[in-house]
């Protein structure tokens, strides 16, 4: 059988993000489309240069396609309670199952792909088109006894191959599948082929690994399956060699199609990391927080304030570059690597850090001396600097302002720090608590906007900030207080369309192309649940739940006009938001005697 004549070209269109699943091993992650194409993978780490980047340039980025040689339909699902992805193909005559996974126990990252015929006999096409270094280098492929090798990577096959074609740029194989023999394929960095005789064992141990994670979660409330999927996604984003979570697995997926808001999220923001680990902590997962806090003590120099973010080597300045040769997802340019926001001053990160330590302590965690020293330094820094303007949670690349959410998080740092100090350093307790009272008074005097009937985005500012939906959840204000209720109402009037919440409005009050932020929709659910509005909160949660991908994944942004996910994918913020919203709904159900929401319990 010859290769089909129409199979020699790279794809010329972009798939919706809803079509993608993600697999990973805690070192890197691959995005795999519903038809079996690997369209994004960086090796050997999340922040390494890409081997496949069709996600960012459908024609030049490179991909690894695997599909039947004749027209087919396909569907994808995860093995229950795992991050092992299974794609099922049907071509009218046969059914074939593709299992994709990356074993965390392997000594180096390896993407393993198992093809097995469930019924019938069929021919599969494997088209391997790597484009190393963000498609800036030729793969220089050459045949090996076990497959093909190129620039710092190799493909190994254990499969009944009936035809192959190998050039410097591409390798193609025709694989004949029958029910008596599965086919195995493996991609690794370097040229040493893996021992595929161990592949089935690695599949079993990988499923067991993820199921142990899932079954260690202490949650049996509403939307349990969604909470577990979100937690498993957060686990995928933790770079296990250091214990630091990443904001997302991708770079430059746009905040709006055709726009320039395309950023590299493959780094560990202190804020994002603390929020993500805080959500896992509330589900009973404590070990990850301990590792991350210990890592922060190693990468944050003594006497220095926390950085906004760190790369996976612990560097806090991450130079930003553009890759002008790539078209970007659906023509959204520029494609960026690195992140210039790493040099910003963002006051809220200190509150996020102290809040995580506080939650860890309240869950029964033991605060190590090095973590306590770091906390004392950071709370002391907030005590001395909270009156200064900052860049805020949304990182605009404009002049600093006195952002209200940042001041609230400064209050969190001082108030939580004072409570922790009762266990460690009584002398700091009264001083930090008194300073927290000063921060609160400052916010109430300067942050409230009578015309908006809500806390403004920054002191004297004419616009709102949806991040302030969180003031009750943070303990800054009671959910039923008039100003809390008024702020929620104002945000809903100006920044929300049902469950879709936009971050803020510019001074001219005209909403830009920035689409709704998924996490903020869940923060709205949480705020309403805390205020006792359980029925409405549940309705909004249900609407947001319908916007997840078929595999239960969220990106950063949802475009309600186009009805699609957009932005970096999968996004840690979005999944921690779902977890916290579900927990708030569960708490509301328990307070009401178990009647409310009972029909949604799983």
- pLDDT at residue number 514: 59
Number of Cβ within a 10 Å radius of residue 136: 12
Over range 214-234, report the average pLDDT.
96
pLDDT beyond 90 at 190: no
| Residue keyed to tokens 């890759």 | 323
Cα-based distances in Å from 381 to 73, 232, 419, 436: 58, 35, 17, 13
- pLDDT at residue number 459: 97
pLDDT beyond 50 at 600: no
| Ordered domains of the chain (ranges, CATH) | 5-201 (2.70.98.10), 221-600 (1.50.10.10)
The DSSP code sequence of 208-267 is HHHHHHHHT----SBTHHHHHHHHHHHHHTEETTTTEEPSBS-B---SSTTSS---B--S
Task: Report the percent of the chain where pLDDT is more than 70.
Answer: 94
3-class DSSP string for 79-142 = CCCCCCEEEEEECCCCEEEEEEECCCCCCCCCEEEEEEEEECCEEEEEEEECCHHHHCCCCCCE
- pLDDT at residue number 592: 61
* Axis crossing angle, helix 348-362 with helix 404-424, rounded to the nearest 10: 40
Task: Report the percent of the chain where pLDDT is more than 90.
Answer: 88
- pLDDT at residue number 9: 40
Q: What is the token pair recorded at 493?
A: 């009037």
pLDDT beyond 80 at 439: yes
SS3 336: strand
- pLDDT at residue number 601: 27
- pLDDT at residue number 56: 98
576 or 588, which is more confident? Answer: 576
| pLDDT tens-digit map of 112-147 | 999 999 998 899 999 999 999 999 999 999 999 999
Quick one: pLDDT band at residue 174, thresholds 50, 70, 90? very high
Over range 442-461, report the average pLDDT.
96
Quick one: pLDDT band at residue 588, thresholds 50, 70, 90? confident
Quick one: pLDDT band at residue 92, thresholds 50, 70, 90? confident
| pLDDT tens-digit map of 475-522 | 999 999 999 999 999 999 999 999 999 997 654 444 555 589 999 999
- pLDDT at residue number 3: 61
- pLDDT at residue number 100: 98
Q: Which residues pair with 227 in a beta bridge?
A: none
| pLDDT tens-digit map of 519-563 | 999 999 999 999 999 999 999 999 999 999 999 999 999 999 999
* Axis crossing angle, helix 224-236 with helix 199-215, rounded to the nearest 10: 120
Q: How far apart are CA 191 and CA 194, in angstroms?
A: 9
Quick one: pLDDT band at residue 187, thresholds 50, 70, 90? very high
- pLDDT at residue number 398: 85
SS3 414: helix
Angle at CA of residue 198, ends 194 and 200, nearest 5°: 120
99 or 591, which is more confident? Answer: 99
Q: How far apart are CA 467 and CA 395, in angstroms?
A: 13
Q: Sign of dihedral through CA atoms 97, 102, 106, 107?
A: positive
Please confirm whether the linkage preceding 234 is cis (ω < 30° from 0): no
Cβ-Cβ contacts under 8 Å for 409 (sequence gap 6 or more): 347, 348, 349, 350, 351, 352, 474
Supply the mean pLDDT for the chain. 93
SS3 448: strand
């Amino acid at each position: 059988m010859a290769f089909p004549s129409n199979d020699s070209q790279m794809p010329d269109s972009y798939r919706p993000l809803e079509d993608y699943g993600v697999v990973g091993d805690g070192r890197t992650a691959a995005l795999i489309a519903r038809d079996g194409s690997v369209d994004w993978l960086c090796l050997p780490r999340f922040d390494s240069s890409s081997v496949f980047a069709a996600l960012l340039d459908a024609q030049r980025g490179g991909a690894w396609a695997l599909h039947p040689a004749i027209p087919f339909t396909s569907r994808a699902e995860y093995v229950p309670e795992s991050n092992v992805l299974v794609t099922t193909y049907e071509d009218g005559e046969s059914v074939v199952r593709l299992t994709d996974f990356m074993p965390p126990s392997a000594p180096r990252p390896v993407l393993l792909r198992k093809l097995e015929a469930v019924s019938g006999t069929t021919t599969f096409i494997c088209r391997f088109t790597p484009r190393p270094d963000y498609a800036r280098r030729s793969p220089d492929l050459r045949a090996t006894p076990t497959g093909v090798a190129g620039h710092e990577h190799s493909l190994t096959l254990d499969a009944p191959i009936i035809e192959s074609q190998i050039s410097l740029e591409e390798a193609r194989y025709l694989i004949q599948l029958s029910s008596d023999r599965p086919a195995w394929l493996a991609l690794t960095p370097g040229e040493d082929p893996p021992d595929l005789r161990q592949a089935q064992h690695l599949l079993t141990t990988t499923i067991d690994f993820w199921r142990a994670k899932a079954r260690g979660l202490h949650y049996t409330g509403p939307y349990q399956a969604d909470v577990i999927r979100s937690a498993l996604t957060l686990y995928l984003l933790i770079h296990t060699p250091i214990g630091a979570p990443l904001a997302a697995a991708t770079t430059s997926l746009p905040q709006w199609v055709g726009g320039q808001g395309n950023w590299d999220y493959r780094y560990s923001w202190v804020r994002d990391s603390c929020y993500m680990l805080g959500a896992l902590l509330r589900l009973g997962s404590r070990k990850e927080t301990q590792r991350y806090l210990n890592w922060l003590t190693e990468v944050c120099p003594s006497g220095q304030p926390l950085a906004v973010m760190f790369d996976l080597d612990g560097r806090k300045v991450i130079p930003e570059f553009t890759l002008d040769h790539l078209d970007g997802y659906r023509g959204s340019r520029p494609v960026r690597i690195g992140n210039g926001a790493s040099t910003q001053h963002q006051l809220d990160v200190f509150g996020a850090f102290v809040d995580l330590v506080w939650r860890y302590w309240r869950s029964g965690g033991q605060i190590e001396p090095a973590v306590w020293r770091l906390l004392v330094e950071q709370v002391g820094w907030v005590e001395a600097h909270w009156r200064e303007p900052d860049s805020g949670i949304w990182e605009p690349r404009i002049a600093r302002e006195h952002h209200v959410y940042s001041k609230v998080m400064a209050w969190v740092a001082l108030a939580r720090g004072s409570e922790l100090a009762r266990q460690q350093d009584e002398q700091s307790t009264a001083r930090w608590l008194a300073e927290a009272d000063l921060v609160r008074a400052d916010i109430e005097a300067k942050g409230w906007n009578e015309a908006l009937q809500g806390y403004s985005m920054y002191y004297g500012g004419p616009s709102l900030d949806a991040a302030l939906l969180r003031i009750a959840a943070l303990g800054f204000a009671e959910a039923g207080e008039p100003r809390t209720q008024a702020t929620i109402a104002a945000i809903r009037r100006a920044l929300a369309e049902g469950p879709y919440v936009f971050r803020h409005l510019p001074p001219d009050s005209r909403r830009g192309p920035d689409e709704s932020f998924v996490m903020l929709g869940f923060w709205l659910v949480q705020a309403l649940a805390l205020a006792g509005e359980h029925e409405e909160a549940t309705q909004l949660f249900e609407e947001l739940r319908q916007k997840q991908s078929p595999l239960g994944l969220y990106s950063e942004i949802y475009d309600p006009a186009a009805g699609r996910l957009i932005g970096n994918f999968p996004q840690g913020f979005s999944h921690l938001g779902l977890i916290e919203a579900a927990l708030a709904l569960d708490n509301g159900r328990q307070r009401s005697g178990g009647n409310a929401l009972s029909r949604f319990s799983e």
